[in-house]
Amino acid sequence: MEEENDNSIPERIFAVGEYLEAVNIALKRFEVKITGEVTQVKVATSGHCYFTIKDKTDENVLDCIAWKYNYQICGVKLEEGLEVILKGNGQLYNATGRFSFIADTIELKGEGVLKKAYLELKKKLESEGVFAFERKKVLPTFPQNIGVITSKKGAVINDLLSNLGQFGFKVKMIDSRVEGQEAVKNLLGAVKEFKKQKIDVLLIMRGGGSLESLQAFNNEALVRAILDFPCPIIAAIGHDKDVPLLALTADFACSTPTAAANTLNKTWEMAPLTISQAERVVFEGLNGRIIQIEKEITRSSGIIESWFNDFFDRYKEIASELKTYVLRIEQAILSRNKFLDNCWGKIESDFSFAFKEMVQKLIYLSQTIKAHDPENNLALGYCLARKHGKIVRKTSDLPPNTGFDLQVSDGIIKTKTI
């Protein structure tokens, strides 16, 4: 566009849209501040705010628009008659070609008006319990990771760093504008960023200033943004009479960065004493516990000793009883053995007697029977006459010329009758 400037314009014919776009680009570069009195206000259902401002002295009028987000965070509720300062740029609406001023920021003009708005918001937040002590977080003991939101151009950050003790602090700073209404977006962005980071404490700092210059720290959107911050917040904002609403909302507030540094140093400086006290508590507790344990051991030893004594006494009793039973059993066995021995002796004796008697009887019978053996007489000269194996008893048994046998003591004589 710049190259085509004055020389090219007569040569080129723009379409309406092209022209509107070219103008809007030029207007975007022309950011200005405008002051005026609000005459008409309409907040659409979309949340965008459409309003008009005019000069107080004559009838010059300007249509303005504050988009939803900008209107929400500006902290100003537009009403007819309010004097405001807008910051933004002009814009042509393509559909109608109508000119509007797009206000990125809106701030109230005049100390009295600012004070009134400050007091109203303070009252509102107070009624909601936003400043209540109960909802404030306790500052951590021995903080290490410190988040800082302030302007790197001011002296505040240097004051903080030079007053922080050598306790291993890790300071991470996000640079932010801290002056006027324009700072709100910066501050909100920094708070949002620190919410994602692992820090122990967040410091929001700026040097002193008037109510007007501290407007950003009285912004409702910013106050509500720090309400649900995950770690404690220290506000170190210099002020005259009216404490900034952000300082009232913070978990701990002081006026200077030095005071903030001292607050962070405090638990570290107290550490040796705290350790000493803790050491004493631990040792006293430990000593007490040792004494208690010793007593318990002594008591337990007594119980164990008593138990073992009882056990051994009972063991002796049982052993003695067992010994008695063993002796009884031994005696019973001996008695049974003796009985068996006696039985056996009698059986042996009786059997031997019966056996001998039987032997004697057998001998006697043998002798008796042998004594009656008819063949015994053969030795005396008798003989036995047999005919065909049968004893010859009569003479008629042997007719003349009959063969027969004569048995004598040493054999048989074969003969016959005449």
Question: Footprint of another protein on this chain (CB under 8 A)?
Answer: 337, 341, 344, 348, 351, 355, 358-359, 361-362, 365-366, 368-375, 384, 390-391
Of the two residues 12 and 372, which places its CB atom closer to another protein in the complex? 372
Of the two residues 327 and 358, which places its CB atom closer to another protein in the complex? 358
Q: How far apart are CA 158 and CA 171, in angstroms?
A: 12
CB of 332 to another protein, least distance (A): 17
Instruction: Give the list of residues 6+ apart from residue 224 with CB closer than 8 angstroms, or none.
Output: none
Q: How far apart are CA 102 and CA 70, in angstroms?
A: 10
Evaluate whether 202 touches 194 at the Cβ level (below 8 Å): yes
CB of 378 to another protein, least distance (A): 11
Of the two residues 29 and 393, which places its CB atom closer to another protein in the complex? 393
DSSP assignment of 131-181 equals T-GGGPPPPPSS--EEEEEE-TTSSHHHHHHHHS-SS--EEEEEE---SST
CB of 392 to another protein, least distance (A): 11
User: In this structure, is the dihedral angle defined by the CA atoms of residues 407, 409, 411 and 413, taken in order, positive or negative?
Assistant: negative
CB of 390 to another protein, least distance (A): 8
Of the two residues 276 and 409, which places its CB atom closer to another protein in the complex? 409
CB of 323 to another protein, least distance (A): 25
Of the two residues 3 and 410, which places its CB atom closer to another protein in the complex? 410
Of the two residues 17 and 374, which places its CB atom closer to another protein in the complex? 374
Of the two residues 282 and 391, which places its CB atom closer to another protein in the complex? 391
CB of 414 to another protein, least distance (A): 20
b/e for 224-263, b at 16 or more Cβ within 10 A? ebbeebebbbbbbbbbeebbbbbbbbbbbbbbbbbbbbeb
Of the two residues 8 and 337, which places its CB atom closer to another protein in the complex? 337
What's the per-residue H, E or C state across 301-369?
HHHHHHHHHHHHHHHHHHHHHHHHHHHHHHHHHHHHHHHHHHHHHHHHHHHHHHHHHHHHHHHHHHHHH
Output the six-digit token pair for 415. 């003969």
CB of 402 to another protein, least distance (A): 19
Edge-to-edge strands, sheet with 390-391: 390-391, 384-387, 403-408, 411-416
Instruction: Give the list of residues 6+ apart from residue 243 with CB closer than 8 angstroms, or none.
Output: 253
CB of 403 to another protein, least distance (A): 20
Of the two residues 272 and 411, which places its CB atom closer to another protein in the complex? 411
CB of 368 to another protein, least distance (A): 5
CB of 298 to another protein, least distance (A): 58
Output the six-digit token pair for 382. 């008798």
Evaluate whether 207 touches 238 at the Cβ level (below 8 Å): yes
Output the six-digit token pair for 48. 């965008």
Of the two residues 1 and 369, which places its CB atom closer to another protein in the complex? 369
**Which residue in this structure is represented by tokens 């995950």?**
230
